[in-house]
Amino acid sequence: MPSAPGTSALLAQGGGAAAPDPPPDGPLSFVQAAKRWASRPRSPRRIVVWLSFYLALAANWPLWTELARIGGAPSVYLPTIASVGLLMTCGTVALLSLTAWSSWMKPLWLGVVLLAAVVQYYMLGYRVVVDPTMLSNALQSDASEVRDLLSWRLMVSVLLVTFLPGWFLWHVRVERISLLSQTWRNATLLLAATAAAACGALVMNRQLAPLMRNNAHLRYMMNPLATLYSAGALVIRPIFGHRRRFIPLTGVVALGPGYATQARPPLLVLVVGKGARADHFGLNGYARDTTPALAARHALSYRDVRSCGTSTLGSVPCMFSGLGKEGFEASKDDHDNLLDVLQAAGLAVFWLGNQTGTCKGVCDRIPHATAFDHLDAGTRRALCAGNECLDDVMLDGLDKRIENLAAGRREKGVVLVLHQIGSHGPDYYKRSSPDAKRFMPECRTNVLGQCSHSELMNGYDNSIAYTDRFLGGLIDWLQLKSKQFDTALLYIGDHGESLGEYGLFLHGVPYGFAPEAQKQVPMVTWFSSGMLRRTGLSLSCMESGLDVPLTHDNLYHAVLGLMDVQTASYIAGLDPLSSCREPRRPG
């Protein structure tokens, strides 16, 4: 017996509507009448025009509400909405005219509607825009990050947008005409839609040009055009763009002369935070005492530090680069980074991440591992839910990880990089253990707009308080290691986080118009007495410089200076600790 056709084939054939229903004996019900109307033969061009109008109306509420907010009075924003709607509909028609061929395009059309529905949900819920960087971040999300963003509200929202076009596409019959006739008709529709969009843009240029120039984010809110453009950019750029090469920049690398006579090797733990805001650290003057553990251990917090980017993908490779933000973003090739330089100098370097695949290429050439792999059952039950663990999991077995590093390198010095899950949203309540939740009640949903402001703040601040406890535990561990190593801790956030300000949530807004909350990051240091003697650093001098403006550009030079790694890429003027350093003394 032949197998039943697949869903795609049924959809392409028009579901059960391949043949018209027989004439009814009595009056038609509403459903029967709608089904009969939908199942009439229609040209693929008419279908894509209807879909374009539908998407403009049903999948662009974030854009319309943003235009209304910017416009102020209805007499201002209603004509603007009409103008933008006309241009966007023409653009969508022009794009979909490339798919106006046969009934086999139905799955593709439905896919475009589904994509638009999902994008609208996240734009409404988190006030994000889908530019190429944001889409790249989304595509690199691991399974736990994806789970955090799923909810029943997402399914309901998507169903509301996709039900009508899905039902229509299931029943409609697509007219069949010759390939030649189809081609010239599609070309005519493409030219007509493009000409209409061009003429409209020219006529309305005086009104729309200042609007788009002063509100660049609007261009990435046109749904689904912006998403399809961003997806196309991610696919096409690597194919037709410059093929990136790996070019080492550091040249000769060597350890300072003090290593030859050192009594103990240095041990630096560099912690890369995630989603932490500097203005929510008690050490920086926040009204809530979110950092009691760091304060009790006399850690130093730099209060004015800006990130390279507003996402992990944008910040992490940049902050470890010796090129600085401008040089890194302008570079068309790949270069060695801070960890490569430290390893080339002969030090033992190790990256430990509490998420899958989040080093963004930084750790590719050094030993690295994921913290939740190969855990014993007790630790996994205590600290993990699935493959998502609290950051304390990175403290488990640190001594063993150091012992497993190459002995020759370990005897010179060790740099451990720990990459937190930190304050990764939107499930902030998952980032702290029950015994660390000091601020209640907290938001316990990933739909942040459903929570009160106080609940959202409580959940986020609990994640900061947990990071504080985690860092306090690291410092205690480093103090225990001080008989064997000269120890130090440097913590720095990757990017900030929006918590409802200006209607924005999470992060990833393009840097040029991102709010300061997504750019300001915490940076905290702690040094053992042995490390202070070794480096000649003056605590009083460092305390006097905690308000000096810094950026991620300073990290590369600060670590090289602290570890006394000599290379031509080191710039003392970008090392925030250099002015507080006396001549080095071994041991």
Task: Please tell me the distance from the alpha carbon of residue 9 to that of residue 103, in angstroms, as a whole number.
Answer: 9
Model pLDDT for residues 275-286, shown as the tens digit of each residue: 999 999 999 999
Comparing 356-360, 488-492, 502-506, which segment has the lowest mean pLDDT?
356-360
Whole-number Å distance between alpha carbons of 253 and 566: 6
C-alpha span between 421 and 431 (Å, rounded): 8
Please state, rounded to an integer, the average pLDDT across all residues of the chain: 87
Interatomic CA distance for residues 322 and 335, integer angstroms: 9
Which position has the higher pLDDT, 417 or 21?
A: 417
Q: Is the pLDDT of residue 270 over 90?
A: yes
- For residue 497, the model assigns a pLDDT of 93
Residue 378, phi-psi category: left (phi > 0), alpha (psi -120 to 50), beta (remainder): alpha
Q: Which of 41-55, 100-114, 119-133, 303-317 has the lowest mean pLDDT?
A: 119-133
The secondary element (H helix, E strand) that includes residue 543 is: helix 539-544
Q: Could you tell me the maximum CA-CA distance found in the chain, to the nearest angstrom?
A: 102
pLDDT band at 2 (very low <50, low <70, confident <90, very high): very low
Query: What is the tens place of the pLDDT at every residue in 114-169?
Result: 999 998 888 887 777 777 777 776 766 666 666 767 778 888 889 999 999 999 99
Contact assessment for residue 505 and residue 425, using Cβ atoms and an 8 Å cutoff:
yes
- Tens-digit pLDDT profile for residues 330-348: 888 888 999 999 999 999 9
DSSP code for 359: S
What per-residue confidence (pLDDT) applies to 258? 86
Please provide the size of the chain in residues.
587
Q: Hey, what are 446's tokens?
A: 């990933």
- Summarize pLDDT for 547-565 with one digit per residue, the tens: 999 999 999 999 999 999 9
Q: Is the pLDDT of residue 20 over 60?
A: no
Tokens of 124: 């409404």
Under the banding of pLDDT at 50, 70 and 90, the label for residue 15 is very low
Residue 237, pLDDT score: 67
pLDDT digits (tens, 9 = 90+) for 115-128: 999 988 888 877 77
Q: Where are the strands (E) in 41-83, listed by range?
A: 41-42
Given this model, what pLDDT does residue 113 score? 92
pLDDT band at 470 (very low <50, low <70, confident <90, very high): very high
The confidence score (pLDDT) of residue 395 equals: 93
Burial status of residue 86 (CB atoms within 10 A of its CB: 0-12, 13-18, 19 or more)? middle
Please give the Cα distance from 378 to 457 (Å, whole number).
Answer: 32
Angle CA(217)–CA(218)–CA(223) in degrees, nearest 5? Answer: 115
Per residue in 364-413, pLDDT tens?
899 999 888 778 888 888 998 877 899 999 999 899 999 999 999 999 99
Ranges of each domain in the chain? 7-240, 267-347+395-428+459-580
pLDDT for the residue 50: 94
Query: 500: helix, coil or strand?
Result: coil
| Long-range Cβ contact pairs of 113-116 (< 8 A, separation 24 or more) | 113/51, 113/54, 113/55, 113/59, 113/161, 113/162, 113/165, 113/166, 114/158, 114/162, 115/224, 115/227, 115/228, 116/55, 116/59, 116/161, 116/223, 116/224, 116/227
Q: Which residues have C-beta within 8 Å of that of residue 163, sequence separation ≥ 6?
A: none
Residue 3 above 60 pLDDT? no
Residue with the larger pLDDT of the pair 412 and 504: 412
What's phi and psi for 386, nearest 5 deg? 70, -130
Other residues' Cβ atoms within 10 Å of the Cβ of residue 19: 9
Q: Which of 173-177, 224-228, 547-551 has the highest mean pLDDT?
A: 547-551
Of 235 and 104, more confident: 104
What SS3 class is residue 254?
strand
By CB atoms closer than 10 A (0-12, 13-18, 19+), residue 73 is: exposed
Range 218-234 average pLDDT: 83
Q: Are 470 and 290 in contact (CB under 8 A)?
A: no
CATH number of 267-347+395-428+459-580: 3.40.720.10
